Amino acid sequence: MNENKKQSKAKINLEEEIIKYQNGSNESLDLIFNSLMPEIKKVARIYKKKYSYICADIDEYEYFIYLATTNAIKSFSLNRGEFIKYWRFCIMNQKSKFIKKQYNLRSRDINCISISEGFDDVGNYVIVNDSGTNLDMNAIKKREYLKDLKEQAIQIAESYSKQDGLIISLYIDSYSFEDISKILKMPKNSVISRFYYLMKIIRSKLKIDDFVL
């Protein structure tokens, strides 16, 4: 018993243990997670602080990282190099989906977050919360990318309704969600939720990766 505890606390060769697990050793999986748990908790705390605007609990971050870790363990092979680097890559790749999902869930709750858009002092497009904190500087990059696909994106959205086409068109033309809601006489949260729904469809039809658009 004491020997097992010492082994779990000692530094292990992650790559070797992962291969053992892939060959059927559940004990190796316990050793892997015991070794990674401090890092999992650390990354969860960092993300919770960085993405505080989505109001997700620390347990939700830890569970997201746990799932990403499980996927990394199952898909790892020695030709991928060091597991820790591959593990971090897997977390980064799945982070955008998690943040977007949590944001979409909570953006409907006006008591949780108040979102607005605009330009900072040097002219960069930003999304800010009610305290003025910059939330997502990648938004301008995604909007610029979408401009290159404007006609296709609008056509896809219009196949659902004229209003959907206008939401995408106005967004591409740099209108804020607040402005779009006033122009279309729609609640702002409805504009936001409809926008993300349409973007999911556009990405799927144009075969664009979630992390690009």
pLDDT reported for residue 200: 85
Tell me which of 49, 73, 106 is where a domain ends. 106
Q: What are the residue ranges of helices labelled H in the chain?
A: 2-9, 14-22, 26-50, 58-75, 83-106, 139-147, 150-158, 162-172, 177-184, 188-206
Q: What is the pLDDT of residue 139?
A: 58
Question: Which pLDDT value is given to residue 210?
Answer: 53
Residues 10 and 80 in one domain: yes
Residues 54 and 102 sit within 8 Å (Cβ to Cβ): yes
Query: Averaged over 148-152, what is the pLDDT?
Result: 87
Does some domain include residue 82? yes
The count of structural domains within the chain is 2
- The pLDDT tens digits of the residues spanning 5-37 come to 444 445 689 999 999 999 998 889 889 988 998
**Do the domain assignments include residue 70?**
yes
Q: Are residues 52 and 129 in the same domain?
A: no
Q: Which of 58, 59, 8 is nearest to 36 (CA)?
A: 8
Q: Are residues 168 and 83 in the same domain?
A: no
Q: What pLDDT, on the 0 to 100 scale, is given for residue 147?
A: 81
Domain of residue 146, residue span: 115-206
Q: In this predicted structure, what is the pLDDT of residue 138?
A: 52
Q: Of 71, 106, 141, which marks where a domain is finished? A: 106
pLDDT at 43: 92
Task: Please give the share of the chain, as a percent, with pLDDT higher than 90.
Answer: 32
| 3-class DSSP assignment, residue 77 | coil
Q: What backbone phi and psi angles, to 5 degrees, belong to 160?
A: -95, -45
Going by the DSSP 8-state scheme, the letter that residue 134 receives in this structure is B
- The answer, yes or no, to whether residue 211 has pLDDT greater than 70, is no
**pLDDT the model gives residue 145:** 74
User: Is residue 213 in some structural domain?
Assistant: no
Is residue 67's pLDDT more than 60?
yes
Candidates 144, 138, 139, 206; CA nearest to 172 is: 144
H or E element that contains 82: none
Q: Is pLDDT of 83 > 90?
A: yes
pLDDT at 185 > cutoff 60:
yes
Domain boundary (45, 77, 106) is at 106
Going by C-alpha positions, the residue among 69, 86, 65 that lies closest to residue 29 is 69
Same-domain status, 73 and 132? no
CA dist., res. 50 & res. 145, Å (int): 24
Query: What value does the mean pLDDT take over residues 168-197?
Result: 87
Q: Is the domain of 102 the same as that of 197?
A: no
The 3-state secondary structure of 22-37 reads: HCCCHHHHHHHHHHHH
- 77 and 135 in a single domain? The answer is no
Report which of residues 211 and 44 the model is more confident about.
Answer: 44
How far apart, in Å, are the Cα atoms of 158 and each of 29, 34, 143, 166, 203? 49, 51, 18, 8, 15
pLDDT-derived band at 148, boundaries 50, 70, 90: confident
pLDDT at 91: 92
Task: Quote the pLDDT of residue 18.
Answer: 95
pLDDT(104) > 70: no
Higher-confidence residue of 131 and 179: namely 179
Is residue 143 situated within a structural domain? yes
Q: What is the mean pLDDT of the chain?
A: 77
